A and B are shown apart, each in its own frame.
Chain A
Amino acid sequence: MKEKLIQLNEQQFFIRLVPIVMLLLMAIGFNIATDGKFGDIRNLRLIVTQAVIIATVATGAVFIFGTGNVSIALGATTAVTAAIIAKIYLMTESVVIMVVAAIVVATLIMILTAILSTVLKVSVIFVSIVMMVMFLAILQTILGAGTITLPYAMTSALTNANFHYIAFVVYFILCAIIFHFTGVGRSIRFIGSNKICAKQSGIFLDKYLMIAFAIAGVGVGLAAIMTSIRTGTIGVGTASSLNMDVVLAIVLGGMSVFGGTRSYIYAGALGALTVTLLNNGLLMVGISPTILQLVRGIFFLTLIFAGQKRPDRLPDNEI
C-alpha cells in the first residue's frame, strides 16, 4: 500500500489533484462566507460565462507554455483582433467573414511573434513584450479617441446561439486531441523538457514553435469574437487583464510555467474557472479590487514557487 502511494506520488498523481481540490475548497469557502449567495445558479452561470474567454485563450496558450516559452502579448493580440474584426463586421455585416477574419488575423499575428523569435533568435518573452506595446499602440490608432460598437442584434443573436460554449468546446476537443494524441503535442512537450535533446531527436524546434503559436492564435481569434459579442463595444480597456488571467489560469490549473512533458491541456480550462471563481468570490466577500490584485499576485508567486520543485535527485544523476 505504502509503495503504491509512493509510486502515485512519483507519477505526480497527487500534484495533479491539487488544482481540483483547490477549486472545490475555494467554492465551498466562498459559499460559506457569502451565506450561499456565491452558489446561486445565476452567479455560477456568470462565472462560467466569464471563464470561457480566459479558458479559450489559456487552452491555446498551453501549447506555447508546453515548449517552455511564455508570451505576455495574448491579451493585446485579443484586443487588437477584436478591434479589427469589429471594423470588418461593420463593413461587411457578415458573421461568417467576421469569424474567419478573427481566426486568420489572430493566427497571423501569433505566427509573426514566433517568426520574429526564431529569425532574430530572441526569446519569446522579449518579443512578446515588444508586440504587446506595439499592439496597444495599434489598438489606439484604430480606435482613436472613441470606441467601436457592434450592433446589438448580432451580438445577442450569437450569445443566444451559445457561440461562446460551442466554440470553446470544439476548440478544446481539437486541442486535447492534438496535444495528447498526436506527434505534434508530444514533440511540443518534449521540446519543453529538453530543447537540445529534442533537436538531436530530429524535432525541428522552430517548426513546432510556429505550430504552437498558430494553434494558440486560433484560440485568441475565438476569444476576440467572444469578447466583442459579450460587451458589444471595443475600447482601449478591452481584454486588458486577459493576459495576467491566462498566465494565472495555466499555473492554477496545475501546469508548470517551465513546460515540458508534465503539461496538460485541461490546465488552461480548469485554471480559468479557478481564476474567475477567485475574482468573483473575493469581490463578493467585500475585498477591494486593489487587495484582489494583491491576492492574485500572492497566489501566482506561491504556485510558481511550488512548480519549481524538482524530484529529489543527485546532482550527478546517478544512484
Chain B
Amino acid sequence: MRVVVADDSLLVRKGIVTLLREAGIEVQAEAASADALLAAVDEHRPDVAIVDIRMPPAFDDEGIQAAHALRAKHPQMAIVLLSQHVDFGTAMLVLAERPERLGYLLKDRVTNVTEFAATLRRVAAGGTALDPEVVQRLLASRADNGPLSVLTEREREVLALVAEGRSNRGIGDRLGVSERAVQKHVTAIFDKLGLAPGEDDNRRILAVLLYLRSAS
C-alpha cells in the first residue's frame, strides 16, 4: 500500500513516516502544507493520503479543505484525517457527506502502528474509520430520540464498532463473541434501519452515514 503523509510538524511527520515504513507501508512523499500535499498526490497517485487537519497558513482546517479538493479530483483515493483533538464541527460534516474511503482519527492512534496500518487498509478498501473517541462522544451525545433509538444497547455497540471501520471479525474479537453472532446483529441493525438488502459493504456505509447524520 502506498501513502502520502501531510503534517506541518517535522517531528511528527518524520515519526509517522518512520513508523509506517517500519510497518512495511510505502510512503511515497511527505508534505508540510496543503499545497504540497495536493502536488504530491497529483504526482504519486497514492492509495491513501494521511492529512493533518491543521496546517499552515492559518492553522485552522486547511487539511479538510485539501481533503475536499482531493476527493473531487481523486474520488478513488482514500483519505485519513488526523487531528490533535476530537472536533465535531467541520470534520463531521465532511464525513457525513460521503463516509466511504474516509477516516478520521486522533493523531495518537498512529503510535499503535499495527492497528493504524489495519485502519489504512480498511479505508483504502472503501470503508470508513472513525476514532473510537469520536464514536464514544457520539454515543454519549446521542439522546434517546432519532432513528437509532430503535436499536438495542448491543446493536448500538456493534454499530459503533462498524463506524470505527472494523470488520465483523474485528468486532467479534472486541466484543468476545463469534463472527456469526456479530453478523446477526449487523443484519438486525440493517433491518431496523430499513436498509434494503444488497451489497453488504454498501449497507455498512449507509448505516454509518445514518449514524453520523443522527449525530449532527
Indicate whether A and B interact.
Answer: no
